[in-house]
Amino acid sequence: TEKKTIVALSGDGIGPEIMAQALRVLKVVAEKIEFDYEVVEKAFGGAGIDQFGHPLPEETLLACQNSDAILLAAIGAPKYDNAPVRAEQGLLALRKALGLYANIRPITVHPALAHLSPLKREVVVGSDFVVVRELTGGIYFGEHTLEETSARDVNDYSAEEIRRIIRKAFEIARKRKKKVTSVDKQNVLATSKLWRKIADEVATEYPDVTLEHQLVDSCAMLMITNPKKFDVIVTENLFGDILSDEASVLPGSLGVMPSASHSETGPSLYEPIHGSAPDIAGQNIANPVSMLLSVAMLLRESFDNEVGASMIEQACDTVMNEGILTRDLGGDASTSEFVDALIKHL
């Protein structure tokens, strides 16, 4: 088998700390599963602005386009918030350039770890769903106009953009509990009316999968009061951003939430759903689990390596179950101590 190329984008804030730990773990796992790879590190986000004057430098984009998979930690820092081009612009440009329209954000709460949630045990135990977030359209990519006394952001969706993400959700549901919840705001928004119509059309292609519709406001409530009702949630870009951070309340921290982003043909990108956490950067206290689980998704979804993926996932569960936890989950382990313990279980 040939050597695979993984582009590593460490970015800003806690990014470099959690990336270093993720690459440490990948090295150990790769030896066990005989996975042959090389890592190409590139500047991105604020680090791209510092080195090249742009958050998505050309050589970074080229390396991503020519890679087999991309691993991203996090970008963004207060120092760039008023820069002509912000760090976040690089992330949006990369998603768009690579056509990463399907963002998959799984949420699971294992019984042994239910006590880490601020919610009642009986509410969260057994929660297991996936948020499928449309990632290259909607209000993120419509026209933005900011004037002195007015501003507007355009929410645009074509039928084709909606159809492909809804199909993606049905494909995922087919391999799970066969239920799709399509989330919209069709009582108000035109884009949502189109969204709902297309969801109904796509549902006829998947008679084995059940479709239900949910308005986004009540969905936000149900995710906390009755999370077990969900299997696959599919929604537009902005709603998916908000709902997936909300979902992190179930496992107890943003620090355990991974994601994968897929295009129609090219390389996929794997990243935690959280940001660069400037408030805790540089202290070796960030939770590395979101990053490690993103590596697991990379092994499974880009390289079809189930063994390597579950090795990492199980080791994360085992270490957390032993009570070795970072501060966000009420423990006092450092980032590197957590990973030291994890490597012993690999």
Residues near ligand IPM (CB under 6 A) are: 76, 88, 91-92, 241, 273, 275
Measured in residues, the chain has a length of 346
Please say which residue, 257 or 342, places its beta carbon nearer to ligand IPM.
Answer: 257
Cα–Cα distance for residue pair 81/305, rounded to 1 Å: 39
Q: How far is the CB of 245 from Mn ion (least distance, A)?
A: 6
Q: Closest by alpha carbon to 326, among 292, 284, 293? A: 284
Burial class (CB in 10 A: 0-12, 13-18, 19+), 177: middle
Per CB under 5 A, contacts with Mn ion among 118-147 are none
Asked if residue 49 lies in contact with residue 87, where contact means CB atoms within 8 angstroms, the answer is yes
Q: Is 236 in the site for Mn ion (CB under 5 A)?
A: no
> What's the Cα-to-Cα distance from 218 to each of 169, 170, 178, 215, rounded to whole Å?
20, 22, 22, 6
| Active-site amino acid positions | 140, 185, 217, 241, 245
Q: Is 12 in the site for Mn ion (CB under 5 A)?
A: no
Q: How far is the CB of 177 from ligand NAD (least distance, A)?
A: 28
Q: How far is the CB of 223 from ligand IPM (least distance, A)?
A: 16
Consult the annotation and say whether 285 binds a ligand.
yes
Q: Is 241 in the site for Mn ion (CB under 5 A)?
A: yes
**CB under 5 to 8 A by kind: which of Mn ion, ligand NAD, ligand IPM, none does 254 bind?**
ligand NAD
Q: Closest by alpha carbon to 302, among 259, 269, 271? A: 269
Consult the annotation and say whether 286 binds a ligand.
yes
Tokens 């002509």 — which residue?
84
Q: Closest by alpha carbon to 136, among 170, 169, 164? A: 164
Q: How far is the CB of 284 from ligand NAD (least distance, A)?
A: 11
Please say which residue, 105 or 300, places its beta carbon nearer to Mn ion.
Answer: 105
Consult the annotation and say whether 282 binds a ligand.
yes
Asked if residue 93 lies in contact with residue 133, where contact means CB atoms within 8 angstroms, the answer is no
Point out the annotated binding site for NAD(+).
275-287
Q: Which amino acids are annotated as binding site for substrate, given as ranges?
A: 95, 105, 133, 217
Binding-site positions read 95, 105, 133, 217, 241, 245, 275-287
